[in-house]
Structure 1
Amino acid sequence: MDGAFQACRRNPAATFGTAIIIQAVIAVLSVVFGQSLIGSLEVLDTQAELTDAQAISFGASVLTGGTVLTIISAIGILAMQGLLVIPVARAILNLKTGLGQTWRLAKGSYLRLAGMALLMLAASIAGLAAFVFAVVFVIEFLGTSGVVLTVLGVLAVIAVFAWLTVKLALAPAALVLEPRGIFAAVGRSWSLTRGNWWRTFGILILTSIIVSIIVSVISTPITMLVTLFASFGSGDAAGDDLSTILPVLVLTTAISAFFGAIGYAFQAAVTSLLYVDLRMRREGFDVVLMREQEHAASGDPDDVPGRGGHGQFPVPPGPWPGGRAAGSR
């Protein structure tokens, strides 16, 4: 965690800036969707009675918009995890990375990151649909006695989801840094976490808890104050005019997106360092980093550690080279 913090502090534009840009895009789309939803509610409110066609149309709009936002959010979060491995890896060699440089060095990985996000999202939806079908089937044939099996099934699904999340957590980093294809990156993450699942799980879950608490403690009071002042300013009209909700929606979404981006950036940095650390433990990747650090000062300013077929060295891992960012091991 200290290494992730140092890497983010050393490259604030590349880490926090990238996260804020991605979260800003998601926030803008969320506001646009919220505005269209408010407009639909205002139209429906003027109707004396809601027809079946209107109800179906409104439900379809909500479902479509929610699905699009979910897909975009999944792509954005996965892209963030892949992009931020570049400034974190370069920070290990004491190399600073700019915002534009990060995106330039990740050029060629955008479509593969989007494809990976869609693949994982589709697999999650298929798994959830299969589980719901199984629950309906069990309750239909076993009645009330199937409730016990349903509870056990829910616990099993949670356990499987946690296991798969950890096994696939390093795939975006492998896809961008090495670089690899979608399925090759998935296999890479799977092999790197073999024998290190509990350690990886502990670090990721602890980081997630800490970031969630800090972000909530900071953003929730600010959001509540914004909502409170907006309610005082709108007077009694707020209850009659749904359009008065839009400014509050914009402000609260912007606040949540900003602090959420900071948290996501830190989590992505921790995941990136985990990826580098596991490569060190399994492949002697630290030897590659030592070799590249010797030439970093006089070499290519756009050098990315580990690219160009490096990293497959069957030697025992050594200390992290160079820099405060590398001291987390």
Structure 2
Amino acid sequence: MRNQISGQPDDGPDDGDPGSSGDGPAPDHDRSTGGRTEAPWQPPAASPGTDGHGSSPWQSPSQGYSSPAGPPSWGAPGGQPGHAVEPGSAARPGDSGALPPHGGRPSPPFGGQGWGPTYPPQGPGQGSPWGGTFPPAPLYQAPPKPGVIPLRPLGLGELLDGAFQACRRNPLATFGIAILLQAVVALVTVLLLGNVLSSFEVFESQNPTPDSIIGAFASLGVFASVAGVVSGVALLVLQGILVIPIARAVINQRTSFGQAWRLARNRLLPLFGFGLLSFAAGVVGLVLLVGISALAVIGLEEYSALVIVPLVIGALVVLTWASIKIVVAPAALMLEGTGPWTSVKRSWRLTRGNWWRTFGIVLLTSVIVSIIASVISTPLTFAVSLFLGFSSSTSATPDALDSIPVLLATQAITALFTAIGYAFQAGVTSLLYVDLRIRREGFDVVLMREHEQAGPGRTDVVPGGTTSFGHQPGGRP
């Protein structure tokens, strides 16, 4: 190594050389070659900015960052700083500042100075070697949740939880209205059913007349028709009115019993129009089904089942598909102030591309409500019927009036749990309407604005009536 630095070839170790101890510079040996004396080896003079290879060893080739004043000190292995080595001087064994062997380019130390100054890892907002600061890393911010749901597209669990929270925050406006309407349905059912039971007493006689038999079946038909119409109207009114407290709960507005009726009364007539429109469509479909089935029986006789069975299955499929397509029409009618037909078209557009998801949510909610209502109401109904049956008179010919208390008790229990289930189901349908508008029209922005405009106090604001996202007031899509 000493000979390479002094310009002489390395002829192997010369342990007898007094200068091999490394305590001082090696003696110069002049060698004559052709009458010329070679000078000791010197490092080549580097032009400014170069090291003989096109770049300075003290400068970054890419960024051009200069080292501090003076030549850098090479670090020893392990990252310890070393000492500067003068050109032409011999390095002592173990010296941390020794030049690399074979004339190679020196390697920067670990964590020390090399091809320019090193910089510690920069965090968000810290200084940058290019000037300025690094922008802070974007952090996730949850969507705002002013009311019962976050203002973003909802999942199934959020729909169910939001409906339950909205009903719990407004118990009189949700469960109270549902129980009131179902009580009316239960009362009408009991009165009509008592008349039907009285008319069926003719079958206990030995010789019933044809007129009495026809009257009994006619009363049964009247009972089924009136009870079905009353139940349908009550369910439609319930689904329409409960949209208002559920939607107001989204923007953190509470709704009382009287306030819900006051806000919904101007929309009840269009709601009945929607009900009549749906009923007319159902009647037309039923007439077509019966007519085609009758023609099949007349024309095909014993082979008519090959036409009737697929026809009935197809009718059920079409009925299910159309029912899901218009499932959010009452919500659009109540909140947007549209007419019956425009509400149907609005629901048709909102469910486009989301039919299967809407069908799954509605079906699952119906199954959950039915199971819970049955599990709770069936034992109570059985216990009440058993108790009233033992306490009633045990005559050999029981009168139809004796069964009225049992009917009233069972209908009251059924109406109570049915009302709670209907309120929850109407809440899910209302939030499904909000979710569909958020997905298609950016309705979350409108809801946030209406929440800010409403303020912390209690107001009569109904969200969704004024918006420029995908739908204009007045029925224009």
What is the TM-score when the length of structure 2 is the normalising length? 0.62
What is the Cα deviation at residue 225 of structure 1?
1.2
What is the Cα deviation at residue 297 of structure 1?
1.7
What are the within-5 Å matches in structure 2 for residues 184-195 of structure 1? 184-195=342-353
**Equivalent in the alignment of 2:18:** none
Report whether the alignment pairs 1:284 with 2:284: no
* Bigger radius of gyration: 2
What are the within-5 Å matches in structure 2 for residues 37-186 of structure 1? 37-42=196-201, 44=202, 49-186=207-344
Counterparts of 2:248 and 2:181, CA distance in 1: 21
Report whether the alignment pairs 1:31 with 2:190: yes
What is the Cα deviation at residue 74 of structure 1?
1.1
Report whether the alignment pairs 1:266 with 2:387: no
Is the 1:285–1:312 Cα contact (8 Å) retained in structure 2?
no
Task: Give the fraction of aligned pairs with identical amino acids, expressed as a percent.
Answer: 50
Is the 2:324–2:355 Cα contact (8 Å) retained in structure 1?
yes
Instruction: Name whichever of 149-158 and 190-199 sits farther off.
Output: 149-158
Question: Partner amino acid for 1:172?
Answer: P
Counterparts of 1:237 and 1:122, CA distance in 2: 48
Within the candidate set 223, 226, 231, 2:384 is matched to: 226
Question: Partner amino acid for 1:23?
Answer: Q
**Equivalent in the alignment of 1:311:** 467
Report whether the alignment pairs 1:215 with 2:373: yes
What is the Cα deviation at residue 268 of structure 1?
0.3
Counterparts of 1:69 and 1:255, CA distance in 2: 17
Secondary structure of 2:265's aligned partner? coil
What is the Cα deviation at residue 116 of structure 1?
1.7
What is the Cα deviation at residue 241 of structure 1?
2.0
Secondary structure of 2:236's aligned partner? helix
Secondary structure of 1:106's aligned partner? helix
Is the 1:75–1:118 Cα contact (8 Å) retained in structure 2?
no
* Higher helix proportion: 1
Is the 1:215–1:263 Cα contact (8 Å) retained in structure 2?
yes
Question: Partner amino acid for 2:196?
Answer: L
Deviations 1:167-190 (A, max 9, x none): 111111111111111111111111
Secondary structure of 1:180's aligned partner? coil
Question: Partner amino acid for 1:122?
Answer: A
Distance 1:45 1:162, change over 3 A: closer
Bigger relative contact order (CA 8 A; separation at least 6):
1
Within the candidate set 165, 170, 192, 1:11 is matched to: 170
**Equivalent in the alignment of 1:240:** 398
Counterparts of 1:17 and 1:41, CA distance in 2: 36
Is the 2:239–2:330 Cα contact (8 Å) retained in structure 1?
yes
Counterparts of 2:242 and 2:260, CA distance in 1: 8
Is the 1:231–1:238 Cα contact (8 Å) retained in structure 2?
no
What is the TM-score when the length of structure 1 is the normalising length? 0.89
Distance 1:302 1:135, change over 3 A: same
Deviations 1:258-292 (A, max 9, x none): 10000000000000000011111111111111111
What is the Cα deviation at residue 312 of structure 1?
3.1
Deviations 1:47-76 (A, max 9, x none): 653222223333333222321221121111
- The structure 1 segments of at least 4 consecutive aligned residues displaced by more than 6 Å after TM superposition are none
What is the Cα deviation at residue 235 of structure 1?
5.0
Is the 1:283–1:311 Cα contact (8 Å) retained in structure 2?
no
Question: Partner amino acid for 2:455?
Answer: A
Distance 1:175 1:293, change over 3 A: same
Instruction: State the superposition RMSD in angstroms.
Output: 1.9
Is the 2:446–2:464 Cα contact (8 Å) retained in structure 1?
yes
Is the 1:14–1:84 Cα contact (8 Å) retained in structure 2?
yes
Is the 1:174–1:180 Cα contact (8 Å) retained in structure 2?
yes
Is the 1:22–1:80 Cα contact (8 Å) retained in structure 2?
yes
Counterparts of 1:314 and 1:81, CA distance in 2: 24
Within the candidate set 238, 250, 253, 2:411 is matched to: 253
**Equivalent in the alignment of 1:327:** none
Distance 1:235 1:61, change over 3 A: closer
Counterparts of 1:121 and 1:257, CA distance in 2: 24
Secondary structure of 1:240's aligned partner? coil
Instruction: Name whichever of 133-142 and 157-166 sits farther off.
Output: 133-142
Counterparts of 2:383 and 2:291, CA distance in 1: 43
Deviations 1:222-269 (A, max 9, x none): 111111122222253275322211111111111111100000000000
Counterparts of 1:238 and 1:114, CA distance in 2: 48
Distance 1:211 1:46, change over 3 A: closer
Distance 1:140 1:91, change over 3 A: same
